[in-house]
Structure 1
Amino acid sequence: MKTIKLDAIDSTNDFLKGLLQHQSVENFTIVTAKKQTKGRGQMGAIWETEESKNLITSILIKKTLNNYEAIFELNIAVSLSIINALKKINIPALSIKWPNDIMSDNKKIAGILIENVFKEKGNIESIVGIGLNINQTDFEKLPKATSLKNIMNQDFEIEAILEEIVTHLQMYTEKIKNKEVDLLWKSYHELLFKIGKPVVFENNNQEKFMGIIQAVNKNGQLQVMLEDDSIHEYGIKEISMIY
């Protein structure tokens, strides 16, 4: 397992993608940065971070996925890896906000951005970007965000948390390869933010509506029961949750 440590970079995901274009890259190669100038979240959202205070990393996962239908299983594996690493340091009230934000109570502490490169014979190489707020304390511009330090009132060792995440991720990707994913799905749903509770959503037309989260399907779509008791499935770019 190779680790590349950078002082500053525009995007660790883009750096790793660039490496893949020019050379063979070892599975589970890790890129970390003290500062990232163009970090991205889901749907192009900007993710800003103070230098040297948070985990900024991208991890190459290959030899795991070989069909499009299994892509969301990697999202589940990454989410559960972060959750389990944080449980070890007693972070409370952890949950996964669909599709892959990590929450403590109602505050976001981490985001995940997975970018997939489709290769020959159906093989897929995945670049797993993780941003985890660890020792930053100022979130004035991000009222729904917080950090491990704000929650626990102590500093944390960034590299130790990364090692714990990667250890779990290696274990979970083996389960995906062996098609042992039923327990992963079960754990994901048990941790799903607001599952079974009335939630306000907003669609692409800025229309708000009430729904109750039922589950996430195999394609990663959110299944929501509407007020007429019908169940609709929504993709990542189709709705957002108001909370």
Structure 2
Amino acid sequence: MNIIKLNAIHSTNDYLKELLHIQLLENFTVVVAEHQTKGKGQMGAVWSVEPGKNLTFSVLVKDAVPEINTIFNLNVAVALSVAKTLEYFNVPNIKIKWPNDILTGNKKTAGILIENNIGSNGAIHSIVGIGLNVNQSNFNGLPKATSMSVEVGEEFNKEQVLHKILEYLKLYVMAMQSNTTELLWDEYHLKLYKKNIPMTFEKNNSKFMGIIKGVSRTGQLQVQLEDDSVVEYSVKEVRLLY
């Protein structure tokens, strides 16, 4: 496995994309940085972490998704890879908050950003960006953030954590490619944050009550409303207030 280690970079996702344009890279090539100055989250949000304390890295995943309408399967595989890694290191109460946040209890431990590129031959290459709070303990101004170290009470070897995520990612991608995606989706839904629990949502600055019933195969959040109808929402169309 090709792992490229950097001290500081604007964005590991951007760096890996640029590298892909100028040279042939093997599948599961990894770019990991001690510090990201312009780390990216979903829909242009900023992922900001304390330098040297956490994991910020991107992985090239080639040809895991055969067609565009199954692309959210990779989101499922990546989220499960991070969740299983946290469980492996005894971090408690791990949940996946749709679409790609990993929570410990009600606090965010990791974020995921997947950027997909469709080649002229139809092949889909994905850049999987992961930010994981490992040893950071100070989250001033971020009341909904936590880390592995805060939750378990010890410091972790970041290299070991990285390799465990990559190990799980390869296993879940193999499962995707062997037509066992239903098992992945079952596991994803078991870990889905606030599933089947009445919650408050916000859309266009208006609040409403609903119950998360699941996520569709195309990545839409399925919410049961007070009239028992089930409505599907896209990323950032609706916000879960928690």
Q: 1:240 maps to what in 2?
A: 239
Name the Cα RMSD after superposition: 0.8
Residue 13 of structure 1, CA deviation: 0.2
Aligned counterpart, 2:175: 175
For the residue of structure 2 that corresponds to 1:233, the secondary structure is strand
List aligned pairs for 1:158-173, cutoff 5 A: 158-173=158-173
Q: Are residues 1:220 and 2:241 paired?
A: no
Q: Which runs of 5+ in 2 are unaligned?
A: none
**Alpha-carbon distance, 1:122 to partner:** 2.1
- The SS at the match of 2:46 is coil
Using structure 1 for the length normalisation, give the TM-score: 0.98
Residue in structure 2 matched with residue 137 of structure 1 by the alignment: 137
Which residue type is aligned with residue 105 of structure 1? Answer: G
Pairing of 1:31-46 with structure 2 (within 5 A):
31-46=31-46
Equivalent residue pairs, number: 242
Query: Whole-Å Cα distance in 2 between the matches of residues 122 and 67 of structure 1?
Result: 8
**CA separation in 2, counterparts of 1:192 and 1:215?**
8
How far apart are residue 120 of structure 1 and its match?
2.7
- Hey, what's the Cα distance between the residues in 2 that align with 1:120 and 1:161? 36
Any runs of at least 4 consecutive aligned residues in structure 1 with deviations exceeding 6 A, and if so which?
A: none
The one-letter code of the counterpart of 2:79 is: S
**Which amino acid counterpart does residue 107 of structure 1 have in structure 2?**
K
**Equivalence map 1:146-157=2 (5 Å):** 146-157=146-157
Q: Identity of counterpart residues, as a percentage?
A: 51
Determine the structure 1 residue equivalent to 2:209.
Answer: 210
Superposition pairs of residues 32-111 of structure 1, within 5 angstroms: 32-111=32-111
One-letter identity of the residue aligned with 2:241: I
Report the AA paired with residue 239 of structure 1. V
Deviation readout 1:126-149 (Å, 9 max, x if unpaired): 000000001011111211001111
Alpha-carbon displacement from aligned partner over 1:161-181 (angstroms, at most 9, x marks no partner): 110010111111111112211
Query: What amino acid is aligned across from residue 228 of structure 1 in structure 2?
Result: D
How far the C-alpha of 1:47 sits from its partner, in A, is 1.1
